[in-house]
Every structure is written in structure tokens, then in C-alpha cells.
């Protein structure tokens, strides 16, 4: 008997798929683009990462204004929990994909 998925699970899987494909596209244009242009939309994931903001601030004591977008991620995490990892992060999407492909359920003892 097939297990029904809630609408939140379906929406999260759709979000993970979109952001994973977006990340793979950005990776492709960064590595294989003839001009190897690393600006514009390619830096989008870096601008939302609060750990990169912290490392840039500690290393150079100067932060680009675009990096302040990472405060959105930090505030959303404080309010909703691990929203970035579960809905946006390409690594989180790949982790869920490979976990679902294993077909095993972990037994909690």
C-alpha cells in the first residue's frame, strides 16, 4: 500500500529539486563557460550563506552589502529551524535523495 505524502513534503521536495537544479546550472556555467565569469547569479548561494559572511568579516573586517542577504537565512533559521538545510541547500537535497534511494529504514533502539 502506497504511503500518502502530505502537501508540505511534496512542496519541500519540489523546492529541493528546483534549488538543486539551480545549483548544478550555476556550477556548470562557472566551470564550463568559455569566459568563466563568476559574478552575477553564480554568487547567489554564497550571498545567502551566513558562515561565509562570518568568515569574510573575520578575515577582512569588510563585508559587501550583498552578503547581508545571509542575515535573512540566519533569521529564518532562528524562527523556523533548519529551513535552509531542508528546503534550499543543494547538499540537503542530495542527502535526502541518497537516503531515499537506500531503501532501508533505520531502527531506533
Contact 50, 73 (CB under 8 A): yes
Q: Which of 1-10, 16-25, 46-55, 56-65 has the lowest mean pLDDT?
A: 1-10
Contact 50, 71 (CB under 8 A): yes
pLDDT digits (tens, 9 = 90+) for 53-107: 787 777 877 777 767 778 887 888 889 888 777 888 888 888 888 888 877 666 6
Could you give the angle at which helices 90-102 and 7-32 cross, rounded to 10 degrees?
A: 120
Q: What distances in angstroms separate CA 86 from CA 9, 38, 44, 61, one per listed residue?
A: 10, 26, 18, 31
In three-state form (DSSP H/G/I as H, E/B as E, the rest C), the secondary structure along the chain is: CCCCCCHHHHHHHHHHHHHHHHHHHHHHHHHHCCCCCCCHHHHHHHHCCHHHHHHHHHHHCCCCHHHHHHHHHHHHHHHHCCHHHHHHCHHHHHHHHHHHHHCCCCCCC
User: What pTM was computed for the model?
Assistant: 0.65
Amino acid at each position: 500500500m502506497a504511503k500518502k505524502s502530505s502537501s508540505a513534503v511534496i512542496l519541500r521536495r519540489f523546492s529541493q529539486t528546483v534549488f538543486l537544479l539551480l545549483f548544478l546550472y550555476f556550477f556548470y556555467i562557472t566551470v564550463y563557460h568559455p569566459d568563466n565569469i563568476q559574478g552575477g547569479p553564480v554568487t547567489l548561494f554564497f550571498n545567502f550563506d551566513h558562515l561565509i559572511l562570518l568568515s569574510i568579516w573575520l578575515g577582512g573586517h569588510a563585508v559587501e552589502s550583498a552578503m547581508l542577504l545571509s542575515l535573512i537565512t540566519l533569521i529564518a533559521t532562528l524562527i523556523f529551524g533548519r529551513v535552509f538545510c531542508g528546503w534550499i541547500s543543494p547538499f540537503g537535497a542530495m542527502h535526502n535523495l541518497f537516503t531515499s534511494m537506500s531503501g532501508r529504514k533505520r531502527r531506533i533502539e
